[in-house]
């Protein structure tokens, strides 16, 4: 008599998806009726028609760009494995990408400040167009070229669109409410677009991975062309005339010479590092006990949690909270550090891990617009791109170090990398606390150099 062994594949409950959807919907729907400050963003009729038009164009462009960003993130290791590459080769290609970001990232930030943010956003679309054309025409691994282009595009994505927004906002002398609204909408739409990119990429993979990559390349070509056309349709950007010598002097005085910017930049780098560690290790951590898990259904849980977290931001900015922005970030970073500490302890219950990871993304979804708001308070708009790209240097260096030590030398374990992430998050919490003590409370208009 044979023994039949039933296999069980763990999946998140459908009730969780309903809970996230309903909570997000109610948070957005009830805000204009229950918020103390009811003149916020979309519900503020004092916003000029020209900026409202730019805001709509900008959010449409940012959504398309986020879909392109999420389109290629679906494949990753699967694409390299389809070419028969070993684990060491995959780690090597990851190192190539982070090395490119480490070396060329600060340069792109300076170029953005000197040449204009609209032009750097065009570069982002052009890079995705080149990658799509290359993958469509060559149908070869081309990991060197594609990884470098996508790494450069990721750097531009991290600061180019935000800087373009705040410069245009300052140019039209709009109230901060409209800028705050766009910050959380960027995080919300980014998460939704990454989820849409995953759905699109999975839908395009019908027979083989190679065929799916070719179709995704076609989709990337189409989206990049549409985004380029939309960017060109926006208002013309005047040519920057600030000499590099003056820019260097201003950058040294207002960024490198200001301890508050160092605290803020360190906090940004710590969040970037912990997020990179999460995306590298979340799948191996969940399946570490050998059970089968439907990872494709867990990934939307993270992005849904991030969307829900971003909707809390307008409630905080409308006067619902008695805490300052810095106080909120101190507690958020502390919670994120505790989450990573629990995971680093090697807790392997899948349900608990998924809840912890969702909590991480929910807090990160709130932290991102808060950090953008703090950058508006402390960083001159003319130096914003250079400051953001420079703050990514220590994060990229730390990620590169962990990849080499874990992927090549096997000198550290996954739990050790999680512990590094927890330490960085607690460090960020301390930096924001110091920023609160030494920073200025009211916003002062010292952005004019």
pLDDT score recorded for residue 143: 63
Distant-in-sequence, close-in-space partners of 160: CB < 8 Å, separation ≥ 6 = 112, 117, 120, 121, 123, 124, 385
What secondary structure does DSSP assign to 421-440, as a single string? Answer: HHHHHHHHHHHHHHHHHHS-
- Asked whether residue 445 carries a pLDDT value surpassing 50, the answer given is no
Query: Look-up: residue for tokens 């590459």?
Result: 85
19-29 pLDDT tens trace: 999 999 999 88
Say what the pLDDT of residue 1 is. Answer: 43
How far apart (Å, rounded) are the C-alpha atoms in residues 303 and 144? 29
- Selected residue with higher pLDDT from 308 and 138: 308
Check pLDDT > 70 for residue 191: yes
Tens-digit pLDDT profile for residues 14-59: 888 899 999 999 998 888 777 665 544 444 545 677 778 888 899 9
Angle at Cα 221 formed by Cα 277 and Cα 158, nearest 5°?
35
pLDDT (0 to 100) of residue 108? 93
Q: For residue range 377-423, list pLDDT tens digits in order.
A: 899 888 999 999 999 999 999 999 998 888 777 788 888 999 999 99
Question: Which region, left, alpha or beta, applies to residue 239 given φ > 0 means left and ψ of -120 to 50 means alpha?
Answer: beta
pLDDT at 443 over 50: no
**What pLDDT digit, counting tens, does each position of 372-386 carry?**
999 998 998 889 999
Token pair listed for 143: 């990991």
User: Average model confidence (pLDDT) for the chain?
Assistant: 83
- pLDDT given for residue 292 in this prediction: 80
Fill in the DSSP letter of residue 239.
P
- For the ranges 75-84, 85-94, 101-110, 236-245, the lowest mean pLDDT is seen at 75-84
- Rounded to an integer, the average pLDDT of 267-288 is 90
Strands 9-10 and 292-293: parallel
């Amino acid at each position: 008599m044979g023994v039949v062994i039933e296999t069980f594949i763990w999946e998140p409950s459908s009730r969780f998806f309903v809970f996230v959807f309903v909570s997000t919907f109610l948070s957005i729907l009830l805000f204009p009726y229950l918020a103390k400050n009811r003149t916020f963003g979309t519900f503020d009729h004092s916003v000029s028609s020209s900026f409202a038009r730019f805001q709509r164009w900008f959010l449409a462009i940012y959504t398309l760009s986020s879909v392109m960003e999420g389109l290629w993130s679906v494949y990753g290791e699967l694409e390299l494995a389809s070419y028969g590459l070993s684990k060491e080769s995959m780690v090597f290609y990851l190192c190539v990408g982070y090395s490119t970001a480490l070396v060329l990232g600060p340069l792109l930030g300076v170029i953005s400040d000197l040449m204009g943010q609209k032009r750097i956003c065009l570069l982002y679309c052009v890079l995705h167009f080149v990658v799509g054309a290359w993958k469509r025409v060559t149908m070869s691994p081309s990991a060197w070229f594609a990884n470098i282009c996508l790494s450069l595009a990721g750097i531009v994505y991290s600061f180019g669109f935000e800087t373009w927004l705040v410069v245009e906002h300052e140019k039209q002398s709009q109230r901060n409410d409209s800028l705050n609204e766009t910050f959380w909408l960027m995080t919300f739409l980014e998460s939704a677009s990454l989820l849409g990119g995953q759905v699109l990429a999975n839908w395009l993979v019908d027979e083989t991975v190679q065929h799916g990559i070719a179709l995704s390349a076609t989709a990337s070509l189409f989206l990049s062309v549409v985004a380029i056309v939309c960017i060109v349709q926006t208002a013309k950007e005047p040519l920057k005339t600030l000499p590099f010598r003056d820019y260097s002097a201003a950058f040294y005085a207002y960024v490198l010479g200001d301890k508050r910017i160092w605290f803020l930049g360190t906090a940004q780098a710590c969040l970037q590092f912990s997020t990179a560690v999460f995306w590298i290790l979340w799948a191996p951590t969940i399946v570490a006990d050998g059970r089968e898990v439907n990872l494709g259904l867990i990934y939307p849980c993270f992005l849904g949690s991030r969307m829900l977290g971003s909707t809390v931001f307008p409630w905080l900015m409308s006067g619902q909270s008695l805490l300052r922005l810095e106080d909120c970030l101190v507690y958020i970073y502390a919670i994120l550090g505790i989450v990573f500490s629990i995971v680093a302890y090697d807790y392997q219950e899948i349900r608990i891990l998924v809840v912890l990871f969702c909590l991480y993304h929910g807090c990160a979804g709130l932290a991102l617009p808060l950090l953008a708001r703090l950058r508006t308070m402390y960083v001159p708009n003319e130096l914003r791109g250079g400051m953001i790209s420079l703050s990514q240097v220590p994060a990229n260096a730390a990620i590169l170090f962990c990849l080499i030590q874990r992927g090549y030398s096997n000198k550290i374990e996954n739990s050790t990398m999680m512990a590094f992430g927890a330490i960085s998050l607690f460090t960020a919490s301390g930096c924001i606390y110091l920023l609160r003590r030494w920073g200025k409370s009211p916003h002062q208009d010292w952005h004019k150099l």
